[in-house]
Amino acid sequence: IIRAPFDGVLGIRKVSPGSLVSPGTLVSTLDDLEIIKVDFSVPETFLSSLSTGQTILANSSAWPNNPFQGIVTNISSRIDTVTRAVNIRAELNNADKKLRPGMLLTIALIKNQSSSMMVPETALLPIESKQFIYKIKGSDSVSKVQVSIGRRKPGKVEILKGISVGDKIVYEGVLRLQDGSKVNILNVQQDGSQQ
């Protein structure tokens, strides 16, 4: 009778019933697949932005459209003197048993995650060193509002202050507008909301 030290999934049996085995003979493999531990390294230049509890996204070529989310559980206390990288360990929830030990994963470590308000870049009107947006007031006119911008990504820009979530803005044809110009709101949705 062979008793496993923990619950898990057995792999392929390596010996047949009745075979003579000796200590150290591999009979089978046993894996607990509920939680998968992932070890990876990060260059030491990013050490200041690492912390336990950070979120990671892991992608596998076996499941290309299904990223797996995990949490950093441990950061090594030493830097590798050859690679100049620090080893990280994270845990992925694998309740659906899609991931297997030994798989190759691509890891995205999510740094400085925050919610922010973004608008299309086409909505910005730069004048000298300032940025403006035309905000719709009432139902048919606009007012020019100065905004502070933050980070950018292709086609979008973060707005730090100047407008609020839910404000209606003009994002096409801003070069032809002036403060107080009359506008017609297009793109009315089926539920009555406007874009």
pLDDT tens digit sequence for 12-65 = 889 888 888 888 888 888 888 889 999 999 999 888 889 999 999 999 999 888
- Average model confidence (pLDDT) for the chain? 85
Percent of the chain with pLDDT over 90: 28
- Residues 6 or more apart whose CB falls under 8 angstroms from that of 186 comprise 195
Q: What is the spatial distance between Cα 71 and Cα 92, in angstroms, rounded to a whole number?
A: 7
Phi-psi region of 69 (alpha: psi -120 to 50; beta: other; left: phi over 0): beta
Q: Specify whether the CB–CB gap between 88 and 76 falls below 8 A.
A: yes
Q: Residue 190: is its pLDDT beyond 50?
A: no
- Residues 6 or more apart whose CB falls under 8 angstroms from that of 118 comprise 153, 156, 157, 158, 159
Which amino acid is residue 142, in one-letter code? Answer: V
pLDDT at 68: 92
Q: What is the spatial distance between Cα 172 and Cα 186, in angstroms, rounded to a whole number?
A: 11
Range from 82-91, 131-140, 170-179, 183-192 carrying the lowest mean pLDDT:
183-192
Nearest alpha-carbon partner for 38 in 106, 92, 77: 92
Q: Residue 94: is its pLDDT beyond 80?
A: yes
Q: What is the spatial distance between Cα 30 and Cα 191, in angstroms, rounded to a whole number?
A: 55
Q: What is the spatial distance between Cα 185 and Cα 175, in angstroms, rounded to a whole number?
A: 17
34: its two tokens: 């509920």
Q: What is the spatial distance between Cα 122 and Cα 169, in angstroms, rounded to a whole number?
A: 11
pLDDT tens-digit readout, 118-139:
899 888 888 888 889 988 887 7
Computed from CA positions of residues 72, 78, 79, 82, in that sequence, does the dihedral angle turn out positive or negative?
Answer: negative
Q: What is the spatial distance between Cα 56 and Cα 168, in angstroms, rounded to a whole number?
A: 35
Q: Residue 82: is its pLDDT beyond 70?
A: yes
How long a stretch of residues is the chain? 195
93: its two tokens: 């929830």
pLDDT at 113: 65
For the whole model, what pTM was predicted?
A: 0.55
